[in-house]
Amino acid sequence: MSLLSAIKGRGPSGFGYGSTAEEVTEGLDLGGKTILITGCNSGIGKESFRVLAARGAHIIAAARTEGKAQATADELGVSAQTTAVACELSEPESVRACVEAVKALGRPIDVLMLNAGIMALPELQVHHGYELQFLTNHIGHFILTQGLRDSLSEDARVVALSSAGHQHTPKGGIAFDNLDGRNGYDAWRFYGQSKLANLLFARELARQFEGSERQAYSVHPGVIKTNLTRHMNPILTSLFGMFESLTLKNVEQGAATQCYVAVHPQVDASGAYFADCNEAKSSSYGRDMELARRLWDESERIVEGL
């Protein structure tokens, strides 16, 4: 347990910084529920997989390869209630193949947990004409969600993993004129841009869900040392390690907010941004619905061209 876990209190939800995924789902029976988790094979995605399966949910486990997803299910001992699928978010054809595989199951999806992502690539990487963090973290999940929209249950929840990093972006929040990064690239600002995109996506999706029981949320899981840091500068990685015991959440705590928002019955604030299992205030860009709609329109244009 980190120092912050010990001194930070709980919020109005009854949970807080130090809460774990097991704690926020304690007593819940998820039998009969189907939950799709991207990035299920490591970090907080794997912990969410473990805990939600333990509560009785059938997990559609998505990883870069079906083999990685199945190996994780086998390791956790939940293969009987798991469907493993491949979903390489940076490859539109892989995402579309995942959509078709999930549709073929004929299962209404109760939770779509958009957990997978990459962070702070030190050098600019362009794939399919777009900067890789934006393509993977936002566009890949946009394709997946839109493809599965008709498969969502009547009261489904879509949970997008954003980050407090959404506050550090290029000017304007989303650099629509530089989505390939060729006019200037900064690893952390482009990561922040992708996380702002996740947040705005959830805001706009929630707006589109109005009039139905479906809900959409974005979450900041906290600062956690997982393999998400594998692309970081070695010096920064070392600093993460030095401060881990003081300030970083462990994986069990990091998975708490997305699990809470995904399945807890007291959550009912569609469109909201959550941190530490409570509603939180996003940046001004994160509350800009005109920006959210512009991003949605641009995302549709991008997807049509991929």
What's the pLDDT score for residue 52? 98
Q: Of 173, 205, 203, 200, nearest to 189 (Cα)?
A: 173
Let me know if 185 is a catalytic residue: yes
Distance of CA 200 to the CA centre of its chain: 13
| pLDDT score, position 2 | 54
Domains of the chain, start order: 29-221+267-305 (3.40.50.720)
Identify the pLDDT of residue 28.
Answer: 98
pLDDT means per 10 residues, the chain with 306 residues, are 65 96 98 98 98 98 98 98 98 98 98 97 97 98 98 98 96 97 96 98 98 98 69 52 64 97 98 98 97 98 96
Please give the pLDDT value at position 248: 85
At 222 the pLDDT is 93
Torsion 62-67-69-70 (CA) sign: positive
pLDDT at 236 (0 to 100): 52
Catalytic residue among 130, 185, 217, 285: 185
> Distance between CA atoms of 242 and 246, rounded to whole angstroms?
8
